[in-house]
Amino acid sequence: MTASKSMREYELKFAGRAGELMAMKKAADAAAGGRASWRTAETQTIYYDTPERRLFAKGVTLRVRQSGEKCVQTVKADHSSSAAALDRAEWEQVLSGCEPDLNVLPQSARRALGTILPDELAPVVVVDMKRQKTVLVQINALGPDLEAEVAIDKGTVHAAGRSAPISECELELIGGEPSVFFQLAMEVHGNSLARLSRISKAARGFALFDETAPEAVKAPKFLLRRERSVSETFREVFGVCIANIVDNEPIAMDGKDPEGVHQIRVSIRRMRSLLAILNNRIDPERTGWLREELKWLHSSMGPARDWDVFISETLMVVDGYGIDRKQIDRLRKLAENRRAEAYRSVRETINSSRYARLTLKLTAFTEIAGWLPWPVGDNHPLVKPLRTHARSMLSRPFGKLMKGSENLADMEMEQRHEVRIRLKKLRYAVDFLHNLYPGAATTKFLKNLHRLQDQFGYLNDVAQITHMIDDLFTSGSKQVQNDPGLHAAAGLVIGWHAQHLHALEPQFLNYWDAFIQTPPFWPAKGKVGKPND
């Protein structure tokens, strides 16, 4: 070993076609005033792991990269899932040879690796890469100067006897303030179609061991802490949701697993719900653009989700109940055609420059806490502990729900739909904050809330059925529009669900009565809540 470095890596990775990355390279040249000096190097990187791939399973990689006569060993460990910006712990040493050497690692790196014996390690992934890179330096009159590395990578990853191409642009913060770094990133990205990626080169290689389609990623449940500030909570929630959106892009574009689009929409709703909960605490001028963009993205995924539910639930449950199966199959085929169109729209959205720009801007907004004013004082609501706001953040949507749901039993479906929306807003607030008040009262409230929302969810699905079937006929051919057999089957589907909803009415009202008789688990105004153990 001739040198050693331990630092926190902070970078943005974009995946795109060669033309898109060349456009980003030109933008980097322009950001440097046309004085960028690019160096080109061909490298081979070998990733090592155990036969069971234990390191990769725990989010750790051990690699040796050779460029010319120089060999560098690097250990990386996932530090957080914050947005789409990679934030990882990294340990790096220059080696005297090109074989991994665990003896030169510091204790922190050894702890990250865990119990690994040298003879357990073997090469598992090989990446051959041509890299062009430059370092951009920008003067910052209000703080430290920005120093950032821009790299354009083109190559191939090999593993398990297979290979896959790699085409990426990486921006890494070397020195300076994150806010200035993100400004540079926005400038370099421009309106490129290249999208943020959280997939490392190692992960691309390990994916070759298993040729099955990628699986949808469910965002973890939030376990928020009372002493964290509202701003820190905002950053945590948005970071997890943005990461979840980026992780589910390939599944949504593939369209075979409905969970891809569903999980993206869940993450968008979580962010929109948090904005609504904090509505009177955040300057609307800071979040107006965000509300509009999230609304656009959520709506663009809506038809695909609606057709997924119609096919997998609405039509599926009526099979075997006396409705002509042949006609049901014809309805299903028409719906599958509409779903295919909806998923083409999903792919167009994700492949658009607007989407690519949005995920980058969302990441920047999250990493630099763009919701905070500058300067921000100690008394600003967003820097106060979450516990000081939790009661009002729960009481507000609860009060709106109670006020708008009087005489629920006498309401028409359209009116109940408004109650459903208010209930969903309360559900998200409760999901964010319930662990601040652990105990039996919270458990009971959650149980009654969740089963009630399931009932409201079915009400919404039934309300959508007529709209979806009308769409099938209006978008179909003249033959479809005038087919009496299809119309009869469609009418029976609508009738079956309407009758089922009617049969569930007593249970629905019982669940509602149980819910409104359940005392809220958060403290009343003026009282101190129970601490979170």
* Model pLDDT, residue 86: 52
- Residue 39: per-residue pLDDT: 95
Which tokens go with 158? 């090999």
Report how far residue 60's alpha carbon sits from residue 114's, in angstroms, rounded to the nearest whole number.
Answer: 10
- Predicted local confidence at residue 3, as pLDDT: 43
Residue-level pLDDT at 1: 38
The CATH fold assigned to 230-516 is CHAD domain (1.40.20)
Q: How many CA atoms lie within 13 A of 461 on its CB side?
A: 22
- For 325-361, letters b (16+ CB in 10 Å) and e give eebbebbbebbeebbeebbeebeebbeeeebbbbbbb
**Alpha helix stretches (DSSP H) within 248-324:** 249-254, 259-277, 284-309
Domains of the chain, residue spans: 3-207, 230-516
Q: Which of 531, 319, 523, 303 is nearest to 438 (CA)?
A: 531
Same fold, 3-207 and 230-516: no
- What residues are paired with 74 via a beta bridge? 63, 92
Angle at 214 between CA 450 and CA 291, to 5 degrees: 55
pTM: 0.88
CB 202 within 8 A of CB 63: yes
**Mind listing the pLDDT tens digit of every residue in the chain (533 residues)?**
344 443 445 789 999 999 999 999 999 999 998 888 999 999 999 999 999 999 998 889 999 999 988 999 999 987 554 555 555 678 999 999 999 999 999 999 999 999 888 789 999 999 999 999 999 999 888 889 999 999 999 999 999 999 999 999 999 999 999 999 999 999 999 989 999 998 888 889 998 988 767 789 998 877 788 888 999 999 999 999 999 999 999 999 999 999 999 999 999 999 999 998 888 888 889 999 999 999 999 999 999 999 999 999 999 888 666 667 888 899 999 999 999 999 999 999 999 999 999 999 999 999 999 999 888 888 888 999 988 889 999 999 999 999 988 889 999 888 898 999 999 999 999 988 998 999 999 999 999 999 999 999 888 888 889 999 999 999 989 999 999 999 999 999 999 999 988 999 999 999 999 999 999 999 887 554 554 43
pLDDT of amino acid 84:
54
Query: Rounded to whole angstroms, how far apart are CA atoms 208 and 255?
Result: 21
Output 388-394 pairs: Cβ under 8 A, ≥24 positions apart: 389/230, 389/281, 390/226, 390/433, 390/436, 390/437, 390/522, 390/529, 391/522, 391/523, 391/525, 391/529, 393/277, 393/278, 393/429, 393/432, 393/433, 394/426, 394/429, 394/430, 394/433, 394/520, 394/522
Three-state DSSP state, 7: strand
- Please give the CATH superfamily to which domain 3-207 belongs: Hypothetical Protein Pfu-838710-001 (2.40.320.10)
Residues forming beta bridges with residue 164, ordered by sequence position? 157
